[in-house]
Amino acid sequence: DAKTTQPNSMESNEEEPVHLPCNHSTISGTDYIHWYRQLPSQGPEYVIHGLTSNVNNRMASLAIAEDRKSSTLILHRATLRDAAVYYCILSEPRVAGGTSYGKLTFGQGTILTVHP
């Protein structure tokens, strides 16, 4: 799977927007872009994913560059509960056993600190 590059850490103030960047210059045409986050001593939590178009859900927005070589996760109003490690992951669907599935490989991610 193609690699992603994220800043080691970022800081934000509560109730301000946060833009978390991710570079993936070697992305293939079939790679989906996934974002997960992980709080200490917890399992990862799905945030959002996309392929080519920008995506919005109740948690966040995902802005994907036109050439797909980078993307940005946008938290519109950061809260203290958003403090976590955020992972940007590329994953290509695989087919076996009659269905598609995906393997996620987590890198080091971005440690987001939110200040009150």
Partner 1 sequence: NAGVMQNPRHLVRRRGQEARLRCSPMKGHSHVYWYRQLPEEGLKFMVYLQKENIIDESGMPKERFSAEFPKEGPSILRIQQVVRGDSAAYFCASSPIVGTSWGYEQYFGPGTRLTVT
User: Least distance in Å: CB of 102 to partner 1?
Assistant: 6
Which residue in 36, 27, 29, 28 sits closest to 62, CA to CA? 36
**Integer distance in angstroms from the first to the last C-alpha of the chain?**
38
**Near partner 1 by CB under 8 A: residue from 29, 58, 95, 116:** 95
Instruction: Please report whether residue 109 would count as binding partner 1 according to CB under 8 A.
Output: yes
Q: Which amino acid, one-letter code, is at 44?
A: P
**Near partner 1 by CB under 8 A: residue from 45, 56, 76, 80:** 45
Which among 9-17, 20-28, 35-43, 69-77 is the span making contact with partner 1, rule CB under 8 A? 35-43
User: Least distance in Å: CB of 83 to partner 1?
Assistant: 18
Instruction: Please report whether residue 53 would count as binding partner 1 according to CB under 8 A.
Output: no
Burial grade of 81 (CB within 10 A; 0-12, 13-18, 19 or more): exposed
**Near partner 1 by CB under 8 A: residue from 10, 32, 63, 113:** 32
Rounded Cα distance between 73 and 86, Å, is 9
User: Least distance in Å: CB of 65 to partner 1?
Assistant: 19
User: And the tokens for 24?
Assistant: 């993936």
